[in-house]
Every structure is written in C-alpha cells, then in structure tokens.
C-alpha cells in the first residue's frame, strides 16, 4: 500500500499500529484473550475516573489544575446538553458526560507514542454509536409513543412532498449509527496513518528535516482533532436526544 521506508533500518507499515495483538505471548486471539485493546480500554476508563473522581476530591473553592479541567469538561457537556436537548435532556447528562470523557481520553491516550488507539476500531466506536442509536430510539418511543413517527412525517411540509421527505428522513435516521462510528474511527485511522507515513519519510536523509517538522505539525493537529471528534460525537448525541424528546419540531 503506502510508503515503506528503506535504508536506515526503519521499516514499518503505516497500518501496523492498528493490529490487535494478545498482551501475553503470541497465540490466537479469542474473545477472552487480554489484548492491547483490553489494556488501552482499561487505561482509558481509569484515566477518565482519575480525572473526575481524584481530580475533584479536594472540592476546593479555588480549584487546582486537575479540578479546573474536570470542572471545565463537566460544564462544557452540561451547557451543551442544556442548549441543544433542552432542560428535560439533563436526565441523560451522566451518560453523555461518560461518553464524552471516554472518547476524549481514548483519542488522547492513543496519541502517546507506542500507544494503541481504541477509538480507531469500528468495533469500539460501533458499540458506542449503536448504544446511542438504540437508546435514543427507545427513549423516543417511550416518551412519545407512536407520536415519535412524526419525526419522519413532517407536517409543516406540503402534503405532496411528505412521502419523499419521509423516505429521506428514514434513510438519514438509520444511517446515524454508521456515520457516527465511521466518522470517529475514520478520523483516528487517517490521522495516525498520516503521522506514520511522514515518520517513514524521516528515514530518508534528504527529506528528514521536512518530515520531522511535518510529524510535529500533524501531531499538534491530531491533538485538536482528538478533542473536536469527541465534541462532535457528543453534540450529535445531544441532537439525536432532542429529536427523541421533541420529535415534532
């Protein structure tokens, strides 16, 4: 596929970093085998818990650094869900905050050299997206009953175009989990692969300075992307939640 750096003894494939390997030994991967995915999923959860529980343990009036970061994350998600989903969306705030912290830490920990990016796997992001999709659908039917189908049958549109709009709305509704999961995984795969491709060029002496500067630039950009993708995932969850709570507008 892409570059293979030759000379300098640095040879790797840009997609090698996404291979799932057993943590101990080199046997086959079964469903119970502890793999690098298991390790980094656990570290992601631990990092989120460490920031939110240990960081705010002091409950200081003038917060220290960890506490103010935790408060900022809390405030960001709280404001987002209040602005977009409305006051009654705040019941689902704990889940949305968990989602945001998990994705943001999964993305950021993946940027550590030698780390494994759990959010680059569609198996991981697919579960997150399906949980949001199924949860929102169940909430929608539980809150509104058959009224929830108004989401697809738009009463403000002229009667003649309503069937066409209904088809489009149904398609766009069922493509949600796909676009949510592929967006997050695709952004992570692409960013990390680009960094690795530039790192491959660094083995060639003539272009090494350019390649190293490019790696630094891409890395900084990826830190931004890691945050923005977590933000986008969370904000779309809030939008879907709004649709479930108030389907008629």
Partner 1 sequence: MEGNIGELGQYIGVGLTAFGMGFAALGVGNVAGNFLAGALRNPSAAAGQTATLFIGMAFAEALGIFSFLVALLLMFAV
- Which residues lie near partner 1 (CB under 8 A)? 80, 83-84, 179, 182-183, 186-187, 190, 228, 231-232, 235-236, 239
Residue 55 or 110: the one with the smaller Cβ distance to partner 1 is 110
Residue 141 or 231: the one with the smaller Cβ distance to partner 1 is 231
Indicate the burial class of 181 (C-beta count within 10 angstroms; 0-12, 13-18, 19 or more). buried
Minimum distance from residue 183 beta carbon to partner 1 (Å): 5
Any idea how long the chain is? 249
Question: Alpha carbon 174 to chain centroid distance?
Answer: 19
Residue 84 or 149: the one with the smaller Cβ distance to partner 1 is 84
The C-alpha angle 233, 50, 102, rounded to 5 degrees, equals 15
Assigned token pair, 19:
């291979």
Minimum distance from residue 42 beta carbon to partner 1 (Å): 27
Q: Rounded to 5 degrees, what are φ and ψ at 155? A: -75, -20
DSSP string, 30-49: -TT--BHHHHHHHHHHHHHH
Minimum distance from residue 87 beta carbon to partner 1 (Å): 16
User: 153: which residues sit within 8 A by CB, 6+ positions away?
Assistant: 162, 166
Residue 183 or 246: the one with the smaller Cβ distance to partner 1 is 183
d(CA 54, CA 76): 19
Assigned token pair, 76:
């960001």
Minimum distance from residue 179 beta carbon to partner 1 (Å): 4
Minimum distance from residue 178 beta carbon to partner 1 (Å): 8
3-state secondary structure of 165: helix
DSSP-assigned letter for residue 157: S
Assigned token pair, 60:
């200081």
Residue 56 or 85: the one with the smaller Cβ distance to partner 1 is 85
Minimum distance from residue 105 beta carbon to partner 1 (Å): 20
d(CA 129, CA 168): 21
Minimum distance from residue 243 beta carbon to partner 1 (Å): 12
């Amino acid at each position: 596929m892409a570059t293979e750096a030759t000379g300098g003894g640095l040879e790797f494939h840009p997609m090698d970093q996404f291979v799932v390997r057993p943590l101990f030994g080199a046997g086959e991967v079964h469903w119970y085998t502890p793999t690098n995915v298991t390790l980094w999923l656990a570290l992601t959860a631990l990092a989120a818990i460490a920031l939110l529980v240990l960081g705010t343990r002091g409950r200081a009036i003038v917060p220290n650094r960890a506490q103010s970061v935790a408060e900022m994350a809390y405030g960001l998600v709280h404001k987002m869900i209040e602005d977009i989903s409305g006051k009654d969306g705040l019941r689902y705030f704990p889940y949305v905050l968990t989602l945001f912290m998990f994705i943001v830490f999964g993305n950021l920990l993946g940027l550590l050299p030698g780390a494994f990016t759990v959010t680059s796997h569609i198996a991981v992001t697919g579960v997150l997206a399906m949980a949001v999709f199924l949860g929102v659908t169940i909430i929608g039917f539980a809150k509104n009953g058959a009224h929830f189908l108004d989401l697809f049958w738009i009463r403000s549109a002229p009667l003649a175009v309503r069937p066409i709009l209904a088809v489009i709305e149904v398609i766009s509704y069922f493509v949600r989990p796909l676009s949510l999961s592929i967006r997050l995984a695709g952004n992570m795969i692409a960013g990390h692969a680009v960094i690795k491709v530039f790192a491959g060029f660094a083995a060639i002496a003539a272009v090494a300075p350019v390649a190293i500067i490019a790696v630094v630039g891409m890395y900084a950009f990826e830190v931004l992307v890691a945050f923005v993708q977590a933000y986008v995932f969370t904000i779309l969850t809030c939008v879907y939640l709004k649709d479930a709570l108030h389907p008629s507008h």
